[in-house]
Chain A
Amino acid sequence: MKIDIEKLSRKTPYPEPSEDFFKQMQANVISQTVGKNPVIVKKEAKVFALDFKWMAAAAVVLIAGITAFLGFNNDPEVTIAQKAPIVDSVYKIEQPANKSSTNLIAKNDISIEAQNETSKPKHLKPHSALASSDSKTTTSSDRIITDRQDYAVGTNKKSDLDVEKVLAAFTPDQLKDIDRNSEQDVYLDLYN
C-alpha cells in the first residue's frame, strides 16, 4: 500500500485547548513581565501663566507676613530686659533706681556717724534692726547698707582699738626701750 502524506489533512490528533487557555496564558505572561515592573507614566505638570496681579498680591502678603513675624519678636520691654547688664547684687543695692545720689550720700554719712557713736557690733545686725535704730534720727527708713560694708567698717575700727589697747599696756619707759632696740626700716624712711 502506497501512502502519500501530502494528501492527508494536516490536522493534529490533539484536542483544541479551552477558550480561556490563551487568556490565562497571556495573564501569566503579563504578570511575570510588565506586572513585575509596572511602567509609571509621568503626568505633565500644569504650567500656570503667572499674572501680574497675582504676583503683586503674593508680594504684599509676603512682606506683611515677614513684618508681622519680626514684630512679634521685637517687644521693647523684652529688648530692654535683655540689654540690661547682669550685675552683682551689692552694686545694685548701691544704685537705687528711684533715689537721688545726693540724698543717698547724706544718709550714708548719717549712718557712719551713728556707727561711730555706738562702736559696738550693733552694725552687724540685719538691715531691719539698723533701720529701726536709725528711725529715731531719720524719719525715712529707706536707707540701705549691705552687710559687707558694715563688716568692713567694723573690722577697721576694731583693729584700731586693739592697737590702742596693746600700746596702753606698755609703760612709757618700755615704749622708749622698744623704740631704741627696734631697727629702723629703710624702706619706711622712703615714705616718711
Chain B
Amino acid sequence: MKLKDEEIVNLLTAPQTVEKGLRAMMDAYQSRLYWHIRRLIVDHDGAQDVLQDTFIKAYQNIHQFKSDSKLYTWLYRIATNEALQALNKMNRMKKTDEDAEYHMQNLVADNAGQDAEEIQVFLQKAIQTLPEKQKLVFNMRYYDDLPYEEISKILDMSVGTCKTNYHYAKDKVENYIKDNYSQEF
C-alpha cells in the first residue's frame, strides 16, 4: 500500500517512525528517481551513489520541506542537484582530454543493453549533445511526463522558459537522429 506524501512526511518527522517513513519514501520514489539520475549520469554505479545521496540529503533536510509543495518535486530537485554535482566532479576527474559530450556518448554506447533498440541509443546520444537546462527539461518532460508547472518548480524556471527549452531540445534531438541515424542505415 502506497502512502501519500503527507503521511510519509509525518512518519519522517516523528522520531519513533523515521525508519518507516524513510522506507516508505524510498519505496515510492526510488525507481523514478533512479531513472532520472541514470539518464543524466548514464553509469549505473554512479547513479546508485547519487540516488543514495539523494535520500540521505532528503532525510537530513526533511525539516526544510514545505508542505505546500509536493514531495516528489522536492526529491527531484535534490536528485537533479546531486546528479549535476556528480557530473561536474566526473568532468574534473576525467584523465583524457576528450570532449565531455563525446565522452558521454561513448558512455551511452558502453552502458546500452544488448537488446536495446538502436533508435533509443541514438536518442540518448542526441540528448547528451544538449545544453544542461535543455537536457533536464527534455528528460523530465519526455520520459517522466512531468507537467511544465512541476518542472518549473524543480528547476526554478518559468513555465514559458521550460516550454521553450523543451521545444528547442526536441528539435535538436530530432535533427541529430535524422542526421546520424540515416548515415548509419
Contact = CB atoms under 8 A, between A and B. Distances in A.
B116 interface: yes
A8 B123 contact: yes
B39 interface: yes
B44 to A, nearest CB: 7
B173 A5 contact: yes
A26 B60 contact: no
Given A3-B174, A10-B143, A14-B116, A29 B38 contact: no
Nearest to A14: B111
Contacts of A14: 38, 42, 44, 111-113, 116
Nearest to B124: A13
A30 B177 contact: no
> Top 7 A-B pairs ranked by shortest CB distance?
A13-B116, A15-B113, A13-B112, A13-B120, A34-B19, A33-B59, A29-B55
Interface string B126-161: 000000000000000011000000000000000000
Given A29-B55, A33-B60, A5 B35 contact: no
A39 interface: yes
A105 interface: no
Given A15-B113, A17-B34, A25 B52 contact: yes
A21 B48 contact: yes
Contact of B19 (A3, A4, A12, A30): A30
B56 interface: yes
B121 interface: yes
B93 interface: no
B56 A17 contact: no
A25 to B, nearest CB: 6
Given A14-B44, A33-B60, 8 more contacts: A8-B119, A13-B113, A26-B26, A29-B22, A29-B56, A33-B22, A34-B18, A34-B59
25 contacts: A1-B178, A3-B174, A3-B178, A5-B142, A8-B120, A9-B120, A13-B108, A13-B113, A14-B38, A14-B42, A14-B112, A15-B113, A21-B48, A25-B48, A25-B51, A26-B30, A29-B55, A30-B22, A32-B52, A33-B22, A33-B56, A34-B19, A34-B22, A34-B59, A39-B16
Contact of B174 (A5, A21, A28, A30): A5
Interface string B83-120: 00000000000000000000000001001110011011
A118 B92 CA distance: 125
A11 interface: yes
A4 B38 CA distance: 24
Contacts of B121: 13
Interface string A59-99: 00000000000000000000000000000000000000000
Nearest to A15: B113
B67 interface: no
Interface in B23-51: 23, 26, 30-31, 34-35, 38-39, 42, 44, 48, 51
Contacts of A22: 26, 30-31, 34
A39 B56 CA distance: 16
A3 B48 CA distance: 33
A6 to B, nearest CB: 8
B44 A17 contact: yes
A25 B38 CA distance: 15
Contacts of B15: 39
